[in-house]
Amino acid sequence: MKRLLYFLFFTLLSSKLFSQVQPRDQSRNDSLLIILKQGKTDSIRARAAFHLSKIWINIDSARGLKYLQQGNTLSKGNEYLNAIYRYQAIPSYRDEKEVNAILVIFRKYDHPDAWDYTYRVAINRVRWLINQALADKALAMLQRDIMPLAQKLKNPAYDAEIALEMGRSFVNQSMYNEAVPYLEKAVARYESIQPKEENLLYNHIHTLGSLANVYNLLERSPKADSTIRRANELLLIQPNLAQKLRITSFEAMHLLQNGNYQKAEKLINHTLANAKGVPPRYLLNLHFQGYKARAGLGDKQGALSLLKKSHPIDSIHLNPEKFGTVDLSELLPTYASAYEQIGDHKQATLYWKRYIKHRDSVSKDQIATQISNLEVQLRTQEKDAAIQHLKAEQNEITLRLKNQRIFTGLFTAAAILLLILLGFILYIYKSKQKINANRIHQLETDNQLKVTKALLEGEERERQRIGRDLHDGLGGTLAGIHIQLSESQQQRQGPTLDRAITQLEGSIAEIRRIARNMVPENLFHKGLDTALRDLCISFSTTETQIEYQSSELSDNLSNSIQTNLYRIVQELLSNALRHGKAKNIIVQCIQNEDTLLLTVEDDGLGFDTQNKQNLHGIGLKNIQSRVNYMQGQYAIESATGQGTTINIEIHVS
């Protein structure tokens, strides 16, 4: 938890800490001012005002807001420009309704500028979701909305941002090993870009810091060292105090992990000396590393003094403007341990009790045992003091108290050993239970998959048999009847015979259509992509438009996966038309390496997903069975009157 706290603190550290008085690109600022004054149309002038607002908002907030309001005034009801204003003025990405409203407007416009704004709004929403520990929603938005935009925009910096956010989502769940590949990918992307622009260079340094922190948490010392050195090299190119504080903290953590306490303390003190006037909330972690360095050097009392000075426990949570948001669940145990190190068991006991009260989720048995030990030591100290005071007059009492102390210590030690033994036995028992439960679950899953496979394969064989029978048997018979009737028609004209031939031709066409649905020959001859496209065309009518989108579909997918995906889309289109009465349907099939994403979205009647009866239809059960057979994931998003979206993800390796 403490590692995660450090990571989040530095991820949220903003570049607003120390701003320059003038913009770095003064020529661009001057050009925009000319356009703002002399632009031919209000729209051009409004865009210039919005760009000026972005330049100045982190330098002079009042001036930045002035340009923002000026741009809003010049927009004069222009929907697109108003969306830009709302994007730059949005106070928080917590407001999902406002975020979606802005995205709806930008998505109406199909050009790179609109794509870019859509990407920026969406990526900011993802960052907020990750910071709120809503990783599932963040990852879904990344895959659904942001990755397709990044592919269209072809901006390598956006690829780096996406990889960084993927890494952050894993870090926030303490999944550090899973985070490393994404953070390394983000760094590699920035290294390939070799950014010169201020904001990209800042992001490059920031990403290096995030990767160095994870290396520290995983104790990968050589990699952490090389990453920190690279970040310091870039800081020489573009000095930035906020990033310098952040990188220095990670460097200090790295030195402390390797036992270089003196070097770490020297680095911290040098950095703090150059950070005069910085608000205390931005220096808390550096001070905390200083406390650890001082403690590591053996100066326990000095370490406690540093901690009390930088992290005043009784006032730090009452002054968020000065100290920011501080998690007392991390600070209280630190205080307790610091007092325990100097032998002040009374204060240590008080802080452990405060910690238990503050954090119910902490292992109460473990902390209660520590408090019990400290209370025993506290009682022993009090008895020792009394014995020293009455030693001359109460020798017999002293001997009795000493024996009682020994007995108490032995009893406590025996009790602790017994608890440890019981805990170990309980741990082994629980572990075996868990292993057996996992084995049973795996066996049940394997059996279910075998049954599902047999059912699906049997169903497919039956479909093929019926399709061949219809096509070769009944279809051939009807075709023969049609030929005979046509010959008769040439010899003998009549309305009844004409209607019979027309109806027979319709029956033959219907049988052929049913046979093709039973056995989609183009699926095996031309591949899944062509088969799905033809399927969408066949379901399209004058009343219902079906759009098919695909990307990177492999030609090497197994017949089983291709068949199941085809049947799933076939069932979903049928449901959308028959039950949903949809007018517009989008089928999207995207493959990203070994992951295949299938989405079918319609604007039909929709249904209430909270009503379990709506989810028990035969069609949805068949879809669920096919997804389970492919060991994929399946999600339904729908509401009455708002259409339905089905998302399916499978691994095709």
pLDDT computed for residue 104 by the predictor = 92
Average pLDDT on 319-334 reads 71
Higher pLDDT: 36 or 233? It is 233
Condensed to tens digits (0 to 9), the pLDDT of residues 378-406 reads 565 656 666 676 666 678 777 878 888 88
**Model-wide pTM > 0.75:** no
> How sure is the predictor about 185, in pLDDT bands with cuts at 50, 70 and 90?
very high
Mean pLDDT for the stretch of residues 543-553? 90
* pLDDT for res 437: 79
The predicted structure's pLDDT at residue 445: 62
Q: What is the structure's pLDDT at 17?
A: 44
Strand partners, 258: none
Can you say whether the dihedral through the CA atoms of 568, 574, 579, 583 is positive or negative?
positive
Q: What pLDDT does residue 211 have?
A: 92
Fold entry, domain 526-651: Heat Shock Protein 90 (3.30.565)
If one compares 597 and 199, the residue with the highest pLDDT of the two is 597
**pLDDT at position 177, please?**
93
Judge whether residue 194 has pLDDT over 90: no
135-175 pLDDT, tens digit per residue, is 889 888 988 989 998 899 898 989 999 999 999 888 888 89
Q: What is the mean pLDDT of residues 322-342?
A: 78
Residue 604 has pLDDT above 70, yes or no: yes
> What's the Cα-to-Cα distance from 203 to each of 11, 52, 167, 195, 465, rounded to whole Å?
11, 21, 14, 9, 60
Which are the contacts of 575, defined by CB distance < 8 A and separation ≥ 6? 619, 620
Name the DSSP letter for residue 260.
Answer: -
Indicate the pLDDT class of residue 423, thresholds 50, 70 and 90.
Answer: confident
Every domain range in the chain assigned CATH 3.30.565.10: 526-651
Closest alpha carbon to 56 in 42, 43, 70: 70
User: Which pLDDT does position 486 carry in this prediction?
Assistant: 64
The residue with tokens 């894993």 is: 170
pLDDT tens-digit series, residues 614-651: 666 667 888 888 888 888 888 899 888 889 999 999 98
Give percent above pLDDT 70 in the chain: 76
Orientation angle between helical segments 42-56 and 61-75, nearest 10 degrees: 160
> Do residues 456 and 626 lie in contact, with contact meaning Cβ atoms separated by under 8 Å?
yes
Rg (CA), the chain: 35
pLDDT band of 2, cuts 50, 70, 90: very low
Q: Residue 482 contacts by C-beta under 8 Å, 6 or more apart in sequence?
A: 501, 504, 505, 508
CA 457 vs. chain centroid, Å, equals 37
pLDDT digits over 454-494, tens only?
Answer: 555 666 566 655 655 555 555 556 656 656 566 666 666 66
Instruction: Pick the most confident of 50-64, 549-563, 583-597.
Output: 583-597
The H helix count followed by the E strand count for the chain is 28, 5
Res 573 pLDDT > 60:
yes
In this prediction, residues 182-209 reach a mean pLDDT of 88
The pLDDT of residue 588 is above 80: yes
Which of 93-97, 442-446, 488-492, 643-647 comes out lowest in average pLDDT?
488-492
Average pLDDT estimate for 243-265: 88
pLDDT higher than 60, residue 9: no
**Backbone φ, ψ for residue 548 (5° rounding):** -110, 130
Give the model's pLDDT for residue 302.
Answer: 85
Q: Minimum mean pLDDT among 125-129, 333-337, 490-494, 567-571: which range?
A: 490-494
Q: Is 60 exceeded by the pLDDT of residue 410?
A: yes
On the question of pLDDT at 6 being above 80, the answer is no
Going 178 to 179 to 182 to 184, the CA torsion angle's sign is negative
Alpha helices in 154-260 (DSSP H): 156-171, 176-193, 198-217, 221-237, 241-257
Residue of 273, 281, 193 whose CA lies nearest to 234: 193
Q: Where is average pLDDT lowest: 201-210, 317-326, 622-631?
A: 317-326
What pLDDT does residue 5 have?
41
* Max mean pLDDT range (167-176, 177-186, 366-375, 457-466): 177-186
Structure tokens at 246: 């952040």
Q: If you search the block for the tokens 């809003």, which residue do you land on?
A: 72
> Tell me, what amino acid is at 24?
R
- Tell me the pLDDT tens digit for each residue of 497-513: 666 667 666 666 666 55
Spatial CA neighbour of 561 closest among 453, 467, 436, 399: 453
Instruction: Quickly list DSSP for 299-354.
Output: -HHHHHHHHHHHS-TTTGGG-HHHH----HHHHHHHHHHHHHHTT-HHHHHHHHHH
Average the pLDDT over each of 12-16, 257-261, 264-268 and give the range with the smallest value.
Answer: 12-16
pLDDT at 89 over 80: yes
Q: With left for phi above 0 and alpha for psi between -120 and 50, is residue 640 left, alpha or beta?
A: beta
pLDDT at residue 360 in the model: 61
Going by pLDDT thresholds of 50, 70 and 90, the confidence category of residue 452 is low
Does position 7 have pLDDT exceeding 50, yes or no?
no
Higher pLDDT, 548 or 368: 548
Residue 189 has a pLDDT of 92
What is the C-alpha to C-alpha distance for residues 245 and 250, in angstroms, rounded to an integer? Answer: 9
How confident is the model over 587-598, as a mean pLDDT?
A: 90
CA 588 to chain CA mean position, Å: 22
